[in-house]
Amino acid sequence: MYFVAIDVFHGFPHVFAFSAVLTRLSSLVLSIASSSCSNNLNSFSRSASILYHEFRSSKNFITSSVVLELRILSCRAWFDMDGERLLVKDFIRSSVVLENAGVCIRNVVASQSYTEHFIGTPVSARWNSTEATQLKDVKGFKGHDMLTPFTAGSQATDTHPLVIEKSEGCYVYDTNGKKYLDSLAGLWCTALGGSEPRLVDAATRQLKTLPFYHSFWNRTTRPSLELATELLQTFTARKMGKVFFTSSGSEANDTQVKLVWYYNNALGRPEKKKFIARNKSYHGSTLITASLCGLPALHKNFDLPVPFVLHTDCPHYWRYHLPGETEEDFATRLANNLEEMILKEGPETIAAFIAEPVMGAGGVILPPATYFEKVQAVLKKYDILFIADEVICAFGRLGTMYGCEKYNIKPDLVSVAKALSSGYMPIGAVLVSLEISDVIHSQSSKLGSFSHGFTYSGHPVSSAVALETLKIYKERNIIEQIQSLSPKFQDGIKSFSDSPIIGEIRGTGLVIGTEFVDNKSPNDLFPSVWGVGTIFGQECVKRGMLVRVAGDISMMCPPFIITPEEIDQLVSTYGEALKATEERVASLKSQQK
């Protein structure tokens, strides 16, 4: 069995125009099958290199807009115990990160069929539409000028981006006219879908009246003042005192750190500086918020996390509970571990604990029963502030206005963003408890001004849109609507729980996650080079649905306005994509044998 990882960017139909390439490569690979002699590897490398230069310089090759690069970086062979299997891995193009090569392109050549596996393999631009990968670059987007977030640098240079051109309700359309059901609500944010006229009108009115003014030095605008009042009224888990505006959830959580430090300095506790976050959490991508995240990808290559951030257990019961341990027992163990960490570091050094009510980007991880009650008891015991990161959960995502209501959390500070404006304008906010805001007020003569803020803090257009968004939530009874739709959504997806490649489907309200594992066990992971989660995501894209994939976890959180009929479509597409993924996994398993 032979696997070659080849970096193929767009142009699957054009591949057939290069039958000579396929034939000669097939011969190269299959020639190794006839012998276990490792000398054939050197021959393979030399021949592949010749092919690369021959076809790369071909005029027809270039004008076809196909990039089929056979630049061999490394070639290594190994034999299993009985000497019957030879694995050849060719990592192509230095611009492709090696650890992601298997996720981008894998299993290109297997067994007796080159073309079958070549055509069936995923392209490295994981979210490209099928049409975008097949068409020539007539719209001029390949090799674009953006450095796009959370994207391999080579993709911006060598592949077509999936360019979204239009939105309509729960759907978006790419530049080729392909329609997608947006099951991720943009990026967890377009709660009212992509064509709410009232939000467009609110922005237009404000642009005509006052397009911009800042909020520095006690100068501000009417929309930001009214929005602050409205936010304080909507949050009922605890009485809050003030609101600080930002342009994003990352900025909100970044502000939390500085605010907590300022608060402790005002109280004469300068040593109380450390923050505790949780493994697998996500809180943003600034220097500080990326450090708060419990995801290694946000630390690696950025020299993070910073020293004052600690990480405690991820509260994922299915994955981390001990044999015979109930959810309540699991929660007790995690709370005890948290207390041990606090005592080890010194309670006088711990400033705050930050948590999402439901962990979003970490895989839609719900807290186990009694978890937050026990954690809050520990924090209160040692005078440690609780920061609730409601950036994803707030405004109805979980079936309550805030996640704090659902899980009986009484935070000292709250971060919101995303659905605050339904994603129509960038805005975030920090809700500050009365106790903290009173200290900031009373100690201002000693510390001076709260010297923190952003040019766009409380931007009048963003604030006007957010105000209108909150009005719509209230007028249309969005919370009740979500509570009504949730069973259909949750039950529909969870009906696939018996799939042999699914370990757990978990969710609440209008957010759900699917974790792919082997043998239904959290301990039996699929080989990372298979990219099972990526395969599922691509199968969804083929069928006109966008999902979020992180490793072998798929996540969905559709707009709040999704209809029962659209949920039926979402569930049906999920099922079709799952079946195709099961077939791919079965094929990969048979090849592995």
Residues 524 and 460 in one domain: no
Q: 426, 447, 476 — which closes off a domain?
A: 476
361: in domain: yes
Task: Output the CA–CA distances (angstroms, integers) from residue 168 to 93, 165, 197, in the order listed.
Answer: 39, 11, 11
- State how far Cα 175 lies from the chain centre: 23
398: in domain: yes
Two tokens, residue 191: 């709660």
> Across residues 475-500, what is the average pLDDT?
98
Residues 534 and 435 in one domain: no
Residues 313 and 456 in one domain: yes
- Whether the CB-CB separation of 473 and 479 falls below 8 Å is answered with yes
pLDDT at 145 (0 to 100): 81
Q: What is the pTM of this model?
A: 0.80
What are the pLDDT digits (tens) for 157-200? Answer: 777 788 999 999 999 999 999 999 999 999 999 999 999 999 99
162: in domain: yes
Residues 293 and 424 in one domain: yes
> Across residues 268-285, what is the average pLDDT?
98
CATH label of the domain that carries residue 537:
3.90.1150.10
Distance CA 95, CA 118 (A): 21
72: in domain: no
pLDDT at 484 (0 to 100): 98
pLDDT at 50 (0 to 100): 57
pLDDT at 152 (0 to 100): 81
Percent of the chain residues past pLDDT 90, beyond the cut: 70
Residues 175 and 203 in one domain: no
pLDDT at 81 (0 to 100): 34
148: in domain: no
Residues 463 and 498 in one domain: no
Q: Checking DSSP bridges between strand 179-182 and strand 240-246, what pairing results, if any? A: unpaired
What are the pLDDT digits (tens) for 47-102? Answer: 555 555 555 554 443 333 333 334 333 333 333 333 333 333 333 333 333 333 33
Distance CA 144, CA 138 (A): 13
Distance CA 248, CA 559 (A): 19
pLDDT at 161 (0 to 100): 85
502: in domain: yes
What are the pLDDT digits (tens) for 508-541? Answer: 999 999 999 999 999 999 999 999 999 999 999 9
- Look at residues 294, 290, 284 and name the one whose alpha carbon lies nearest to residue 304: 290
Residues 432 and 567 in one domain: no
563: in domain: yes
pLDDT at 119 (0 to 100): 30
Residues 293 and 159 in one domain: no
Distance CA 22, CA 32 (A): 16
Domain that holds residue 436: 197-476
Residues 404 and 449 in one domain: yes
45: in domain: no
- Look at residues 154, 155, 183 and name the one whose alpha carbon lies nearest to residue 546: 183
Q: Checking DSSP bridges between strand 274-278 and strand 309-312, what pairing results, if any? A: parallel
pLDDT at 9 (0 to 100): 32
Mean pLDDT of the chain: 83
Q: 476, 491, 508 — which closes off a domain?
A: 476
Residues 454 and 508 in one domain: no
Distance CA 393, CA 356 (A): 8
- Give the number of domains in the chain: 2
Residues 178 and 235 in one domain: no
Counting every residue written for the chain, the total comes to 593
Q: 445, 476, 507 — which closes off a domain?
A: 476
CATH label of the domain that carries residue 316:
3.40.640.10
Residues 297 and 428 in one domain: yes
pLDDT at 242 (0 to 100): 98
Residue 42 has pLDDT above 60, yes or no: no
